[in-house]
Amino acid sequence: MIKKIKNIIKPVIKFNTFSRKQLQILTWWEKESPYSKYNGIICDGSIRAGKTVPMAISFVLWAMKYFDAQNFAMCGKTVGSFKRNVWKWLKPVLILRGFAIEEDRTSNLIYIQKGYVVNYFYIFGGRDESSQDLIQGITLAGLLLDEVALMPESFVNQATGRCSILGAKLWFNCNPESPVHYFYTDWIQKAKEKKFLHIHFMMEDNPSLSQEVIQSYKSRYAGVFFQRFILGLWVMAQGAIYKDCFDDDNLFGDELIDYISRNIFRMKRYIFIDYGTVNPMVFLDVYDDNEKLYVVNEYYYDSKKTGIEKTDLEYGEDLLKFVGDKSITPAYVVIDPSAASFKVLLRKKGLRGKVAEDTINADNKVLEGIRHVSSLLKKKILSFHKDNCKNTINEMKSYVWDDKALKNQAKEKPLKIADHGPDAVRYGCFTLINPRRYNNAS
């Protein structure tokens, strides 16, 4: 007799309706479906399009209907992200449908039971190349890869290669990336050849989203990120990075300096730093009134132009002068993660307390940071003093994608020329700023 597994939570979740595409996800594997003998399913398209919910539900329903005492894998970029984005709501849905669940958090194993049928669902993360070692050796009857385009090819190949049980199927979902991305070229473009059902989603395919919410999402993105996240297109990142979101509306003059001076005690102040010795050193002075970010001044020192390299101690003295003897001390200095020696100097020379209340390392995720900054620019949350920040403004306008890196390495990244101001902006904004807390950021 199989031990009955106790439910430990009471589910509270409701679905009003499913769209046609969502229903297709839920039923494609049924024997009556024309796709029942396909090897798997791929769902891609815009963000918030309603792919993840039916994919995960359908995966478990299929596994529990056709298998018993088998291993399955459910994967996200990390174990934590999968539990947060998928399992958190999938668990109550399954309990509502009469499934019993027991979790072994140590081994990231989930036992799912209905009647006398029990299957074993392992959660894996596909963060980097080493992740393939974690899934190696297991035999699977099915595989769900959530946000597969964020996983390295080695992990995907290792995971799909573990599915050797008769009748095993593969389930993929993702948002678009570059058209030279391995998943697009090797899986989506070859879906028919590999006998995969490919369903492309748009936000309008998610019945839980109102038109107001859809328009709100459309207002957040620009350029390549709008094409990918809103239109659901696998497009090339090329040309100027901020060309569709950075314009004269992101600039201000002395009239706002007066506004900042009058309201300074209800604002937060930050210093964003891009560190350089041979390359330029950049400090940005930023004020935050909980509605907008104002970059009011810049320090930009290029040793190549002056012919004189400065020491960390000299830069520390310049930073003290840049912060000045003002009425509001910066809450944070956000520093380029490569600036180890400069951070040591701030601690040893006692500059940390004089310059700011705290000094923190920047989050250096490049593509995510660029997307974050473009959203702030698009929403007109982030602006620059047109006279005091000329170097940063010029670099923001000329900041471009590296075409050679994309063609030769199939990797998207900015061209490493005149990127010092944009890097400082990205470090500070991506590390500190959550757009949703701003009154005008829906």
Is the pLDDT assigned to residue 440 strictly greater than 70?
A: no
* Per-residue pLDDT tens digits for 187-228: 999 999 999 999 999 999 999 999 999 999 999 899 999 999
- Higher confidence at residue 425 or residue 411? 425
The predicted model gives 114-118 an average pLDDT of 96
Domain for residue 380, yes or no? Answer: yes
**37 and 88 in one domain?**
yes
Domain for residue 159, yes or no? Answer: yes
Mean pLDDT score across all residues of the chain: 91
Confidence of residue 355 (pLDDT cuts 50, 70, 90): confident
The predicted model gives 383-395 an average pLDDT of 97
**332 and 412 in one domain?**
yes
* Confidence at residue 352, expressed as pLDDT on a 0 to 100 scale: 57
Confidence of residue 358 (pLDDT cuts 50, 70, 90): confident
Confidence of residue 12 (pLDDT cuts 50, 70, 90): very low
* Confidence at residue 9, expressed as pLDDT on a 0 to 100 scale: 45
Distance CA 139, CA 158 (A): 11
Domain for residue 14, yes or no? Answer: no
Q: How many other C-beta atoms are found inside a 10 Å radius of the C-beta of residue 274? A: 28
**253 and 213 in one domain?**
no
Domain for residue 8, yes or no? Answer: no
Lowest mean pLDDT among 86-100, 255-269, 398-412, 428-442: 428-442
Instruction: Quote the domain boundaries for residue 371.
Output: 248-437
From the list 255, 290, 276, 295, the residue with the least C-alpha distance to 384 is: 295
* Confidence at residue 153, expressed as pLDDT on a 0 to 100 scale: 94
The predicted model gives 282-294 an average pLDDT of 95
Domain for residue 15, yes or no? Answer: no
**138 and 76 in one domain?**
yes
The predicted model gives 427-432 an average pLDDT of 95
* Confidence at residue 409, expressed as pLDDT on a 0 to 100 scale: 73
Is the pLDDT assigned to residue 4 strictly greater than 70?
A: no
* Confidence at residue 383, expressed as pLDDT on a 0 to 100 scale: 97
* Per-residue pLDDT tens digits for 81-113: 999 999 999 999 999 999 999 999 999 999 999
**151 and 294 in one domain?**
no
The predicted model gives 45-65 an average pLDDT of 96
**132 and 204 in one domain?**
yes
* Confidence at residue 2, expressed as pLDDT on a 0 to 100 scale: 43
Per the structure block, which two tokens stand in for 250? 């992101």
The amino acid present at 429, given as its one-letter code, is C
Distance CA 377, CA 354 (A): 31
The predicted model gives 16-35 an average pLDDT of 94
**188 and 70 in one domain?**
yes
pLDDT over 90 percentage in the chain: 79
Answer with the one of 198, 219, 240 that is the final residue of a domain. Answer: 219
**371 and 320 in one domain?**
yes
Distance CA 442, CA 268 (A): 21
Is the pLDDT assigned to residue 442 strictly greater than 50?
A: no
**25 and 161 in one domain?**
yes
Q: Under a CB-based contact definition with an 8 Å cutoff, are residues 30 and 62 in contact?
A: no
The predicted model gives 24-30 an average pLDDT of 97
* Confidence at residue 15, expressed as pLDDT on a 0 to 100 scale: 54
Domain for residue 241, yes or no? Answer: no
Residue 26: CATH number of its domain: 3.40.50.300
> Which range has the top average pLDDT, 25-29, 338-342, 401-405?
25-29
The predicted model gives 400-424 an average pLDDT of 88
Answer with the one of 178, 204, 219 that is the final residue of a domain. Answer: 219
Is the pLDDT assigned to residue 238 strictly greater than 70?
A: yes
DSSP state, residue 84: I
Q: What is the pTM of this model?
A: 0.84
**212 and 359 in one domain?**
no
- Higher confidence at residue 149 or residue 326? 149
First to last CA, the chain: 54
- The residues facing 201 across adjacent strands are 45
Per the structure block, which two tokens stand in for 270? 């930050």
The predicted model gives 303-311 an average pLDDT of 93
The predicted model gives 341-370 an average pLDDT of 81
* Per-residue pLDDT tens digits for 36-51: 999 999 999 999 999 9
* Confidence at residue 157, expressed as pLDDT on a 0 to 100 scale: 95
Task: Kindly write down the DSSP assignment for every residue of 234-252, as one continuous string.
Answer: -----SBTTTTT-SGGGEE
Per the structure block, which two tokens stand in for 79? 């174990």
* Per-residue pLDDT tens digits for 143-196: 999 999 999 999 999 999 999 999 999 999 999 999 999 999 999 999 999 999
Domain for residue 227, yes or no? Answer: no
**170 and 99 in one domain?**
yes
* Confidence at residue 1, expressed as pLDDT on a 0 to 100 scale: 34
Answer with the one of 175, 200, 219 that is the final residue of a domain. Answer: 219
**280 and 210 in one domain?**
no
Domain count, the chain: 2
Please state, in angstroms and as integers, the Cα–Cα distance from residue 142 to each residue in 67, 128, 189, 226, following that order: 10, 22, 22, 33
Q: What is the largest CA-CA distance in the chain?
A: 82
